[in-house]
Structure 1
């Protein structure tokens, strides 16, 4: 069963953000757009490239009212050590969620049980706490923060403009479609 349009299950986890430990819960996601980006593990190979890519675009996510969260099954202590030792991860300003109990990864259905790690799962969550987009990759396939930003903008657009849809490759400011009987077979 798909998690699309389901409400995020309750959770509370430790996190690391810019030199501080904090707690993050499902309540922190309410009232704003959020993105949770699961990755397999700290001190790995593809993961720092993805987190750095997100860090580069983080100001653009914030400018449209979106909070970004990185998440792995590592502890918040490991997140701190990685942040302090990796040049790429050192750029990260958004919270890194710790999921050593594997609860969060199970809730989002990205846990690789036999490895105790998460798949590369990306979840766009609306202000009501509903999951609006999901992208899940095998552990060796990196994601694009620019494509994620485009998908978030599309989700925000269709939420603000009921009855309209965003076609393939839609970019902010481009034309949308209004589904109707007259459009059937015309595209």
Structure 2
């Protein structure tokens, strides 16, 4: 077993022990609301997003609901989320496109998804990781940080980190690892006040001279 393989095995074994059955933590009720939740969570605290979407999705849970709702009403509900004005407009505009172009059904193709207002590569990847079998490994700030700390990527940009993650981890584990690494990073390896002694994976890799 080579250097990288040993490192990957340790990481996956610890993640599987800590998070054997990882589940999404964003609140949603169907595919449409899942896409909206992911979009709203960009540059926003997940806890706050979940508080707001539990109210929002009583009003809108399909594209037709949204286009029948004044944008000002949506703004008022999500006003405590970052970039709420832009996000409100994007929710409305993408709903119009979904109705006109896709009969209200969200496309499962990453290229088509990225053409929707407010849906970038990461949002599209996260959505597809939940609802399709498309080969995606969404990389957010937490996964980006962990890949750098584990010295599996150089940390230069998210695109490179995604390529490295896909190269080192088996495709069948991508969906699970996406959720596991985010949960682990938040609890054991935060960006601020990082305590190396509490970072189980980092300590294990250090002890095995794999860093």
Fold agreement, TM-score > 0.5: no
When you count strand as a share of all residues, which structure comes out higher?
1
Higher relative contact order (CA 8 A, sep 6+): 1
When you count helix as a share of all residues, which structure comes out higher?
2
Q: What TM-score does the superposition give when structure 2 sets the normalisation length? A: 0.27
Structure whose alpha-carbon radius of gyration is higher = 2
